[in-house]
Amino acid sequence: MKNISQNEKVQMSKQFRSRIFSCKDFKERMSYIGEHLQEMESVSATNRASLGFNQKVFKLVDMNLSKKKVLLFGASFDEVKAFCALAENVYFITIPFLDDVVLPQNAHQMEYDEEFSIKNPDKILFDFIFSNHVVEHIFSDDLHRHLKEMYDLLRVGGEYFIICPSKHSIVTAPIEFFNYHIGQYTYAQIASLALEIGFCSYRPIINPYLFNHFIEYKRYQLENILSKLPVIFLSILGLNSLYIKLKK
């Protein structure tokens, strides 16, 4: 593993963004993302196997997972281990394939097919799907496809819980952070797509360690108002990430 300078990291991020926006379709974008992540892991100690997981997130999961089937989309190894301690069966998928680790017995790694759809030969339906800081790496043209795939993998009554940076925190972030976050979303954008696909309810959570079940953002234009605040205040208030629960 070689060390690279901050300037080299910035240049890699610029190259990534330029290439992603030149890809002609979803399959080409996914192929390139896989290649780039492999390259990144060769020059950085941070990868999906080493990323940590903040277990405070479980305070937001108002579902008993002990007898549930869980799918983790874009999971880190620590994330897999944390959910395996709570759920009966934990399935996960990530790019690149997570190997060279010993998985818990109730962890099951899924794979993509040639079109980058999740292989599911047993037609498993999940009670709970979770993605943690992954959706912001999904190109805007592909978000509908992603949400529809998650919808199809859920049983009726199942939930998809998304955590991702808000659009307003991404656009003011350092350049290398901005370049990799090709999906810049608001609560309203994700809600609109989710309801169009067929999710029956959409629940945003604002500042999850202080408030819960709050009034809808778009009804009172809170998101637009809060976007005017400096990023440091959004961080203090816990508003620089989106926390969204979608129910089928």
The secondary structure of 7-41 as a DSSP string is: HHHHHHHHHHHHHHHH--SHHHHHHHHHHHHHHHH
pLDDT for 208: 46
Place of tokens 């955590």: 163
Indicate whether 23 belongs to any domain. Answer: no
Indicate whether 7 belongs to any domain. Answer: no
Q: Domain range holding 159?
A: 54-247
pLDDT for 170: 79
Q: Helical H runs in 70-209?
A: 77-84, 143-153, 167-170, 175-180, 187-197
Indicate whether 219 belongs to any domain. Answer: yes
pLDDT for 51: 52
Indicate whether 12 belongs to any domain. Answer: no
Contact 4, 176 (CB under 8 A): no
CATH number reported for the structural domain that contains residue 230 in this entry: 3.40.50.150
Q: What is the pLDDT along the chain (248 residues), one digit of tens a residue?
A: 456 787 888 888 899 999 999 999 999 999 998 888 877 766 554 445 445 566 777 777 878 898 999 999 988 888 899 999 999 999 999 887 777 788 999 999 999 999 999 999 999 999 999 998 899 999 999 999 999 999 999 999 999 999 888 777 777 778 878 888 999 888 778 888 999 999 987 766 655 444 433 444 444 456 566 666 665 665 555 566 788 889 99
Indicate whether 93 belongs to any domain. Answer: yes
Indicate whether 161 belongs to any domain. Answer: yes
Q: For residue 104, say if its preceding peptide bond is cis, omega within 30 degrees of 0.
A: no
Which H helix or E strand runs over 135?
A: none
- The encoded tokens of residue 20 equal 């992603």
Diameter of the chain by CA atoms? 50
pLDDT for 97: 78
pTM score: 0.84
Close Cβ partners of 162 (under 8 Å, ≥ 6 residues apart): 131, 135, 190, 242, 243, 244, 245, 246
Indicate whether 209 belongs to any domain. Answer: yes
Indicate whether 44 belongs to any domain. Answer: no
Number of domains in the chain: 1
